[in-house]
């Protein structure tokens, strides 16, 4: 059951990983850091932070260039990354955000959010990088960009390799999705695995087929797949809308 309570004085220093609120927006000051923040009145849904603590990238990686080429899709990807962070679908924490997003550029290459990326409304290309290759012998991801790619790059790589019709992957975290997966008819992987591991990626491959577009990594987060970025984003919002309707009936 999702905890629903009247809003108290909480802000960006609160332990809740995200706050989803229904009502009127207003400005408040955090009790802990005294910084102003916007919140809402009426009903508030607190999504507890029960995810594995972020410890950085767990795979070998090698930078080939400090810059990479991109097109208008990067602006679009940034739009969805920021929107997810604002909706609590990829909650921001002190070391980044609980989410990672990408679009395909080749058979096994893709542009993806950097490790520990905090989404911003204004696009900054240094927040992203281009995974250009994977060296199987050394299990090393080769990338272009200023910073290493997302810790879940193995997951994105595995899905792009197995699903040639998929051109975008949006991965976020929302505890109510996990809690209500059955009611929402969302497929869930069989077993929990730590983030950023080949085992987690393999668990996704064991679940998906050519028709799977939205699923949950057990006790972890959701994954949306699309033929393009907007398709994956809108699909997530569709499930999110169903979740809100379900919670409103609780």
Q: Which pLDDT tens digit goes with each residue over 10-63?
A: 333 332 333 333 333 434 445 455 555 443 332 333 344 455 666 668 789 999
The model's pTM: 0.80
Q: Are 49 and 95 in contact (CB under 8 A)?
A: no
Q: Which CATH fold would you assign to the domain 60-248?
A: L-fuculose-1-phosphate Aldolase (3.40.225)
Q: Are 223 and 195 in contact (CB under 8 A)?
A: no
Bridge partners for 47 per DSSP: 18
Lowest mean pLDDT among 2-16, 151-165, 216-230: 2-16
Lowest mean pLDDT among 16-25, 176-185, 212-221, 227-236: 16-25
Sign of CA dihedral 168, 173, 176, 180: positive
190-194 average pLDDT score: 95
Query: According to CATH, where is 3.40.225.10 located in the chain?
Result: 60-248
Distance CA 44, CA 27 (A): 15
- Per-residue confidence at 6, pLDDT binned at 50, 70, 90? very low
Q: Quick one: pLDDT at residue 93? A: 87
Task: Look over the chain and give the mean of its residue pLDDT values, rounded to a whole number.
Answer: 83
Closest of 216, 208, 211, 214 to residue 188, by C-alpha: 216
Q: Which pLDDT tens digit goes with each residue over 92-129?
A: 988 899 999 999 999 999 999 999 999 999 999 999 99
């Amino acid at each position: 059951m999702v905890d629903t309570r009247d809003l108290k004085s909480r802000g960006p220093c609160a332990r809740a990983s995200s706050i989803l609120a229904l009502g009127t927006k207003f400005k408040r000051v955090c009790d802990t850091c005294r910084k102003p923040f916007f919140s809402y009145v009426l009903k508030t849904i607190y999504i507890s932070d029960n995810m594995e603590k972020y410890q950085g990238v767990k795979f070998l990686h090698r930078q080939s260039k400090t810059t990479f080429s991109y097109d208008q899709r990067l602006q679009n990807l940034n739009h969805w990354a920021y929107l997810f962070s604002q909706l609590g679908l990829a909650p921001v924490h002190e070391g980044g955000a609980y989410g990672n997003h990408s679009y395909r550029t080749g058979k096994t290459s893709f542009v993806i959010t950097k490790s520990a990326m905090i989404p911003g409304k204004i696009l900054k290309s240094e927040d992203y990088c281009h995974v250009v290759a994977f060296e199987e012998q050394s299990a090393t991801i080769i990338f272009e960009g200023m910073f290493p790619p997302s810790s879940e790059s193995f997951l994105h790589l595995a899905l792009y390799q197995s699903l040639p019709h998929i051109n975008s992957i949006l991965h976020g975290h929302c505890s109510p999705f996990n809690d209500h997966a059955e009611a929402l008819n969302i497929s869930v992987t069989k077993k929990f695995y730590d983030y950023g591991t080949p085992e987690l990626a393999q668990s996704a491959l064991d679940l998906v087929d050519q028709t799977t577009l939205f699923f949950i990594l057990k006790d972890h987060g959701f994954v949306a797949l699309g033929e393009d970025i907007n398709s994956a984003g809108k699909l997530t919002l569709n499930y999110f809308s169903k979740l809100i309707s379900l919670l409103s009936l609780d």
